[in-house]
Structure 1
Amino acid sequence: MAQQLELPRRLATGTGAIPLGLGGMLGAGLFVGLAPASALAGVWLLLGVPIAGLTAVCCALSTAEQSAVYRGPGAAYACIRSQLGIAPGRIAASTYLLGQIAAMAAIASAVGAYLPTSSPVIAAVAILLTVVAATAGLRIRGGAAWLWLCLTLTVSALVVAACWAIAPLPPTGVPAGGNTPGPTPMGIPAAAGILLFAFLGFERLTAPAEERDRYGRPAVRRGLIVMFTIAGTVVVIVSASVIHQLGAARLALSPTPMIRALQAADAAALTSLVGVGVALAMLPVLLGVLELFRSTALAVLQDGDLPASLGRRAGSGTPYLLDLAGGIAAAGLAFLVEPAQAIALAACCVLVHYAFANAGARVLLVEDRTWRMRMTCLGVGLCVILAMSMPVPAMLGTLGAAVLGPVLAGVLFRLRR
């Protein structure tokens, strides 16, 4: 019993919270999201970083409040369904699940793109390995989480050093598109929506599906302060460095910005090392996204809006059919769309979900007149603005999930009665 009581005291310090959340933040948004963000806003994308960070802070605080009341998987979804109604809950769940599937597709495609032998098959293999690892009960925590976080920061530091070690070449010619006007400050909200992916992953700290991952409120607040400070600083430094070396136009055309920046900085000898490092750094992020998908999907399944057979458990206790279904969907999407398109779709879907999540938290805190209630209101507004600023294909895909998801869930629920 003494050992069982000691663990919560140690966790209450929040020392394990930093790699748990930060390791999930610095992934696709940093290594893949810079190119589509630059295509939307050019050099103005740097102004999108604080907007994305503020939006993520509002969402993190809302999910922390919801998790304190709705324990277990899918706390944000459970709050939305309870406070706003069944239809908003189904819309939020549908967009969130599609968003996580698109995020897995974007991350897996980026893993394949950064490896020296790039192939679309690698994306499917990466997702399959992630599903197998999740089914086996693999959990990257403690020292392993710190190790992968250090790998991400080391790779980022190498790229930054190379970008500033040599003066960039002057721009030559007009980028593809002829004399069409380039990105303007009007693209900042859309770029902020893409860059939101550099701050996602906080739910692993604020709304864990399992009690063993839960931290006390003071530890969560300290962890969020440290996590968002480090993530924001890293994104700004890396973005400024890559823009300095490539320029906004070339960055927008770079599917692998870190590799292109090294090549432009006459550091081609480091491309294989950095490429493998980036791919390895994103594998735990892929596993973390699958965990977030599973958490909400389990809550939806418990409400009868998904087939009950998907909840079948493996020997490790994980719902292997649910993980496999999400992995197959992500692999299929990775073959159909480019990583930039997948990350835009994922961002738009997640923004819609968090708009509902902030609204649900606002109702939950209706008696609270402090800054926490005001942050939820700010979160609703920011999520709506950023979602409405996303590229049209991403909005159409999100709209499809928001319409078809609740309809299919309603039909399935009626059939199961």
Structure 2
Amino acid sequence: MAQRSELPRRLATDAGAIPFGLGGMLGAGVFLGLAPASALAGAWLLLGIPVAGLAAACCALSTAEQSVAYRGPGAAYTCIRAQLGVVPGRIAAGTHLLGQVAAMAALAGGIEAYLPTSSPLIAAVLVLLTVVAATAGLRIRGGAAWLWLGLTPAVVALVVLACWAIAPAPVGSSAQHTTPMGIPAAAGTMFFAFLGFERVTAPAEERDRYGRPAMRSAAVVMFAATVAILLIVGVSVLHQLGAARLALSPAPMLRALQAADAATLTSLVGAGAALAMLPVLLGALELFRSTALAVLSDGDLPTLFDRRAGGGTPYLLDLGGGLAAAGLAVLVEPGQAITLAACCLLVHYAFANAGARVLLVNESTWRMRMACLGVGLCVILAMSMPVPAMLGTLGAAVLGPLLGGVLTRRWS
């Protein structure tokens, strides 16, 4: 009887994995990512969405295996360092940290783009307020997570209905000319929409860990829902705006509403989109902190960053990441931050999949093959990204090992 009474509570706890993970994935990728993807591939971006989902699913499987073998913060980084060596570990850490900083900048810029008043300073302030909330120990869980998650499909439903309620304006001769060659770059950009799965597959804290059945079912729901929502929104805004106008839209959903003669809904949709992205911003900071704590424990960051607030949160570490993200949000557009974040994290997960491949060498064949597929997809998509994003990623890949070597006096 005791086991039976525990079952409903366990099922309720495991069900919490869905909003916890899905809430971390749906954000700027849905509300902003379609615009830079359209600039790279036009309407062909729709084919890039399932490719990005497959790459992210491989990465999720690899990080789940790494989390079992290496408990605690930064499981993927720890596995890479243990299985591949110090330098690959530092490259993976550098790209992951910059990727999460860029993700925070993109999310903050996305929230600002959907607000009535537009200013880069608003994005910077949003990042710093998120740091304060994280330092205070704010965690969105349980019923609040489900309620917050519901904002995204509600906003999506409004926009989709408006897009199909009125015929789109004719597209002029200046329509964007694109080819299928842009699909890998669009897939790499849309990879950003799937980030956040590590909150379920590789949590930094044991209290956030879910059993394998819950993790497996949550992953299926998360990736299926994300692909479906992205495709529905993509088809709808392309129908209403066309690829050329979509590529130039800083806030695609608001632009689609205006084009569909539903401008009266822009305030409601803008507020809903901004609110829906706030927990994702907090989740990006948590992922930054997770890897940074693992790097700190290896001595590759100054011990100064290990200072803790009353609740045990590393406030200087959070503040450092927040200041970097705030500065980036002021300097670059959200679309540029999205491509930089996606490129950095693709490189990071290429190493993560390689580490998982070595970890699973004597284990299940299909999981090892999925890790191999993840390596190939991540490398191809990263190499297809815009040149500025690749240069920023290269900088992180070089600076990570250099700074770690200088601080520890160890180069291998």
TM-score range with shorter-chain normalisation? over 0.9
Equivalent pair of 1:14/1:222 in contact (CA under 8 Å): no
Can you give the 5+ residue segments of structure 2 that lack an aligned partner in the other structure? none
Report the CA distance shift for 1:6/1:414 in structure 2 as closer, same or farther (over 3 A).
farther
Residue in 2 that maps onto 1:381? 376
Partner residue, 2:223: 228
2:98 match: 98
Matched position secondary structure for 1:64 = helix
Mapped to 1, the partners of 2:308 and 2:257 lie a distance apart of 45
Q: 1:284 to 1:7 in 2, by over 3 A?
A: farther
Q: Which amino acid aligns with 1:302?
A: S
- SS of 1:247's equivalent in the other structure is helix
1:284 counterpart = 2:285: no
Q: Which residue of structure 2 aligns with residue 335 of structure 1? A: 330
Q: Matches of 2:409 and 2:394 in 1, distance apart?
A: 23
- Tell me how far 1:173 sits from its aligned partner: 4.0
How far did 1:14 drift? 2.2
Quick one: distance in 2 between partners of 1:218 and 1:293?
27
In the alignment, the residues of structure 2 paired with residue 7 and residue 68 of structure 1 have an alpha-carbon distance, to the nearest angstrom, of 23
Other structure's SS at 2:361 match:
coil
Match of 1:49 in 2: 49
Aligned partners of 1:7, 1:313: CA distance in 2, in Å? 37
Q: Deviations over 1:308-332 (max 9, x none)?
A: 1101110111101000000000000
Inter-partner Cα distance in structure 2 for 1:275 and 1:223: 28
**What does 1:314-329 correspond to in 2, within 5 Å?**
314-329=309-324
Distance 1:209 1:13 in 2: 17
Cα offset, 1:9, TM superposition: 5.8
TM-score, normalisation: structure 1: 0.95
How far did 1:125 drift?
A: 1.1
Task: Work out the CA distance in 1 between the residues paired with 2:25 and 2:11.
Answer: 20
Question: Quick one: which amino acid aligns to residue 72 of structure 1?
Answer: G
* Contact 1:12 1:215 survives alignment (8 Å): no
> Does residue 187 of structure 2 align to residue 188 of structure 1?
no
Matched, 1:353 2:342: no
CA contact (8 A) 1:12 1:219 kept: no
Q: Which runs of 4+ in 1 moved over 2 A?
A: 5-9, 11-14
Alignment of 1:18-417 (within 5 A): 18-174=18-174, 182-414=177-409
Deviations 1:28-71 (A, max 9, x none): 11111100000000000000011000000000000000000100
Secondary structure class of the residue paired with 1:14: helix
Identity of aligned residues (%): 78
Q: Which runs of 5 or more residues in structure 1 are unaligned?
A: 176-180
Q: Is the 8 A contact 1:79 1:360 kept in 2?
A: yes
Name the aligned partner's letter for residue 156 of structure 1: V
Q: What displacement does 1:22 show?
A: 0.4
Letter in 2 for 1:379: G
Paired AA for residue 317 in structure 2 = L
Secondary structure of the corresponding residue to residue 164 of structure 2:
helix
**Alpha-carbon contact 1:13-1:219 (below 8 Å) kept:** no
> Could you say what the CA RMSD is over the residues aligned between the two structures, in angstroms?
1.7
